Structure 1
Amino acid sequence: MMLEGKVAIVTGAGGGIGREIALAMALAGAKVVVNDIGASLTGEGATSATPGQQTVAIIEQRGGTAVANTDSVAEWPAAQRIVQTAMDSFGRVDIVVNNAGILRDQIFHKMSPEEWLAVVNVHLNGAFFVSRAAAEHYRRQGSGAYVHMTSTSGLIGNFGQANYSAAKLGVAALSKSIALDMQRFGVRSNCIAPFAWSRMTSSIPAETPEQKARVARLQQMTPDKNAPLAVFLASDAAKDVTGQIFAARHNELFLFSQPRPIRSVHKEGGWTPESVAEIALPAFRAQFQPLDRSGDVFSWDPV
């Protein structure tokens, strides 16, 4: 019971990865606020309390304790209500899992401002809003854990996801900033880049043989494979782990590097555009990063 006595908020917990994390945290002893607005994959159209209520029902059937919440993470007052639900229901909050997300994929030169803002608002602003709403409680009690869902689409790259990629790389930077700012209060912040076949990945094209092969690999990676890492990062067993980026891929776990200088050149008297081209460019070129996508880097079959 690694989370015995703790209270967790899991956003986007009406299905997929979020539901599996909520279930696993409840089994590990946590009381859980199951947040989900019950919207479509794009975040458009009618909303429903049913997905979140179904997750709560499963938790209760297994002997756990949970309450549902249908507020949107993308609005500051609503995010405050999500955290207040934990306080009103269970008297405290110890864990925030920022998992809620939508997709509006579009090739960059066709992406509309609305498509950009909708995705950034949920993923990046939502992660900030819910985390910020919990921060004062964490500070007062001298403890707390954040687990944010980032993505290899942001960490590495992908086609047609400028909005999603930018938001997810922003989440990684947000997590590091939280880790730095709140370490003195006993608060930890880490990221997971999850691999799973879920509603969030069901829109991946599967037309060419290469695309079909990639989807087949993803379908082997069930959402529950991400839950053990999330439970660990939320637990006291990870009390010394903060500011890190992990990934869970079927039965594999990864620790990601973070950007650091890899090559430097110096020129007495400074640089001109011409000397940059003549001296710096040849020195740097061997260390240039390729235009990889997530599927290029993680190209082997899951084991």
Structure 2
Amino acid sequence: MAEDEAAKRPGDGPLAGRVALVTGAGRGLGRAHARTLAAAGAAVVVNDLSVSVDGSAAEDDDLAARTAAAIVADGGQAAADRSDVSDFAGAEAAVRCALDTFGRLDILVNNAGILTGAELAELSQKDIERCLTVNVLGSAGTVRAAFGHMRARRYGRVVNTLSEAGLRTGCHAGVAYAAAKAALWGLTMALSDEAAPHGITVNAVSPGARTRMSQDHLDHAGHGLDLAPEHVSRVVLALVAESAADITGRVVHAAGGEVREYRLSREADTPLVRQLAGKEYV
């Protein structure tokens, strides 16, 4: 699905009457998510700080306003927000923007994140802390801020953004980023348990998409898939639909139209573990 398809007028789409907050929505995956949800009828709060990939430098362009303006130009409803969701105060401000502007919040897509790809010996404590703060605390804070409102209405859809870097070996994205995404997996699972009794689902996507964060790796790997972000947005749209009420605690990988679910499955024990467990089979 190309960006112009995601920009169709919403009309009375499947998300009509719903309000969504998408963090990190100024470009790339977040922008595609925001436009896809808006095209499906949702009013969208577009949150973005306009910072560099590693979060170390601010950029001049107000990307949140540009994405919101594009949605409005396509006939949708949107508001721009530049709160820093990496701390609880900023997360609360972003949620408050949705409540003050549209009166409710039904959907939360945690897409904001930074990449710190250095090897361990090259990382400072500050580097690791910043990566964990933005990628993990940023998602925990927005859910925390939205949870009371969603619980009171007994309805909510939350989608976090993981990465294969935190799900398996061989991705070479750097230890700080991998640790942050692995922690976010655990956060997603725990939140899904806590939220389920209140009509709130919590899932995650593991995206494979060509964005400024991934383009160097993809260029080096020579990937042949069509890795347009909109393929991932299609999965996000499915996870936030009203019909997805029984889907929670799931991690869905989407890349170039290929979709599969990650499961925390255990492979066969190694000989060492079999020995320690006192198992006699070989």
Provide the residue aligned with 1:244 in structure 2.
250
> Of residues 11, 18, 29 in structure 2, which corresponds to 1:6?
18
Matched, 1:34 2:34: no
Q: CA RMSD in A?
A: 2.4
Provide the residue aligned with 2:194 in structure 1.
181
Change (3 A) 1:284 1:175: farther
Percent identical pairs in the alignment equals 31
Deviations 1:252-282 (A, max 9, x none): 11111114585599xxxxxxxxxx6892389
Take 2:93 and 2:155, find their aligned partners in 1: how far apart are those partners? 21
Matched, 1:96 2:111: no
Matched, 1:217 2:230: no
Bigger shift: 25-34 or 161-170? Answer: 161-170
Take 2:27 and 2:66, find their aligned partners in 1: how far apart are those partners? 9
Matched, 1:258 2:254: no
Superposed, 1:151-166 pairs within 5 Å as: 151-157=163-169, 158-166=171-179
Paired residues of 1:37 and 1:49 also in contact (CA < 8 A): no
Take 2:101 and 2:280, find their aligned partners in 1: how far apart are those partners? 56
Take 2:281 and 2:255, find their aligned partners in 1: how far apart are those partners? 32
Change (3 A) 1:160 1:142: closer
Take 1:238 and 1:76, find their aligned partners in 2: how far apart are those partners? 28
- Shift in Å, 1:108: 1.6
> Of residues 119, 128, 142 in structure 2, which corresponds to 1:116?
128
Take 1:196 and 1:33, find their aligned partners in 2: how far apart are those partners? 22
Letter in 1 for 2:53: L
- Shift in Å, 1:200: 1.2
- Shift in Å, 1:57: 1.2
- Shift in Å, 1:48: 4.2
Take 2:207 and 2:152, find their aligned partners in 1: how far apart are those partners? 31
Change (3 A) 1:30 1:55: same
Provide the residue aligned with 2:6 in structure 1.
none
Take 2:26 and 2:183, find their aligned partners in 1: how far apart are those partners? 24
Take 1:195 and 1:160, find their aligned partners in 2: how far apart are those partners? 13
Take 1:119 and 1:168, find their aligned partners in 2: how far apart are those partners? 10
Deviations 1:170-226 (A, max 9, x none): 1111111111011110010001000001011124285xxxxx3x24436x3111111
Paired residues of 1:263 and 1:284 also in contact (CA < 8 A): no
Take 1:278 and 1:253, find their aligned partners in 2: how far apart are those partners? 34
Give ranges in structure 2 of 5+ residues lacking alignment: 1-12
Letter in 1 for 2:186: A
Take 2:218 and 2:155, find their aligned partners in 1: how far apart are those partners? 42
Paired residues of 1:107 and 1:159 also in contact (CA < 8 A): no
- Shift in Å, 1:49: 5.7
Letter in 1 for 2:20: A
Provide the residue aligned with 1:129 in structure 2.
141
Paired residues of 2:210 and 2:218 also in contact (CA < 8 A): no
Deviations 1:213-260 (A, max 9, x none): x24436x31111111110110111211100011011111111111145
- Shift in Å, 1:54: 1.1
Superposed, 1:140-155 pairs within 5 Å as: 140-155=152-167
Letter in 1 for 2:137: N
- Shift in Å, 1:159: 2.2
Give aligned pairs, total.
269
Provide the residue aligned with 1:233 in structure 2.
239
**Which structure has the greater CA radius of gyration?**
1
Deviations 1:10-43 (A, max 9, x none): 0000000000000000000000000000011111
Provide the residue aligned with 1:171 in structure 2.
184
- Shift in Å, 1:109: 2.2
Take 1:50 and 1:9, find their aligned partners in 2: how far apart are those partners? 17
Paired residues of 2:48 and 2:82 also in contact (CA < 8 A): yes
Change (3 A) 1:205 1:77: same
